[in-house]
Amino acid sequence: MSDTPTISLGINGRFFASNWRPARDEIGFVSAHDFRALQFPGKLEGLHATHLGAEVAVVSDLLAEAGIMAVMEIVVRINAAGRTQNGQTPLDVLRANLPAITALPCRYVHWHLALSEWPGEPAVARLEESLTPQFAAAVELAQQHGFTFGLEHNEPELRLFATPAACRAMLDATPGLGFVWDLNHTTPTDLLAYLDLIPRMSMLHVADTPLPEVNHHLPLGLGAIDFAAYLRALVEGGFAGPAILEIGGLPKSGGYGRDTDEALVASRRHFTDALVLASRR
């Protein structure tokens, strides 16, 4: 393999209540530092200008001028009945975000589903299975509107879609569904099983973690992930989608706020170096 493989590296936009930047500024940062993608957050009520600091159409124009790909993560916390606190289903939330998805436009969209309460192990398995029709409907919407729809897994402690087997079951049941692999959610025990899903992977989430502990969301190089080895497996498996840096830290790793400009630029260098190593045999 002589050429460095192409994976479009981007960042998770800093559109958080405690760390908010206008979309115009984030697009400028992404463009200035040679990132190629920006992840937007889906909202229960739909993504609107109030979340971005500008009308969605304006943000779309800025993305197009900079040549930046838009992707969207929709975090939905649900109970055992598969509904949010205000009664929405994940499919309701996807539909609420369709105007922004199509206007930006987002090329990749996925659900990151999490439990809002612990219903017991048997109920989790029933909940996962019950969501199959909604995943099928989401894929149909994606095909109608020209984007790829995916499922992101959780770390094992978070239970919902938290094993390779649970993710594979949904992928097998839903033709056209993509898989969003979060390297920082993956234990060493589960690594090979997740690598087996490379043919279905649509997108990556990338952060470091002090393995075997997971989900610390550290800047790259501050944990124990061998990114060159992971990327070699991905490249050899034919993956060529976007990879989104989701660094920032969780309380268990010292708290939020590590997604500074400097940390993102340093993580980009670390990722690029690892990708070059991954291309060598």
Q: List, for residues 182-222, the tens digit of each pLDDT value.
A: 999 999 999 999 999 999 999 999 999 999 999 999 999 99
How far apart, in whole angstroms, are the C-alpha atoms of residue 226 and residue 206? 12
Check residue 280 and give its pLDDT: 79
Check residue 279 and give its pLDDT: 83
How far apart, in whole angstroms, are the C-alpha atoms of residue 152 and residue 134? 15
Would you state the structure tokens that stand for residue 97, as one six-digit string? 């975000």
Check residue 131 and give its pLDDT: 98
Q: List, for residues 152-190, the tens digit of each pLDDT value.
A: 999 999 999 999 999 999 999 999 999 999 999 999 999
Q: Which of 125, 171, 134, 136 is nearest to 152 (CA)?
A: 171
Categorize the per-residue pLDDT at 253 as very low, low, confident or very high, splitting at 50, 70 and 90: confident
Cβ within 8 Å of residue 137, ≥6 positions away: 91
Categorize the per-residue pLDDT at 1 as very low, low, confident or very high, splitting at 50, 70 and 90: very low
pTM for the structure as a whole: 0.95
Tell how far CA 179 is from the center of its chain: 9
Q: Report all structural domains of the chain as residue ranges with CATH numbers, in order of start.
A: 8-278 (3.20.20.150)
Report the pLDDT averaged over residues 28-46.
Answer: 98
Whether the predicted pLDDT of 2 surpasses 50: no
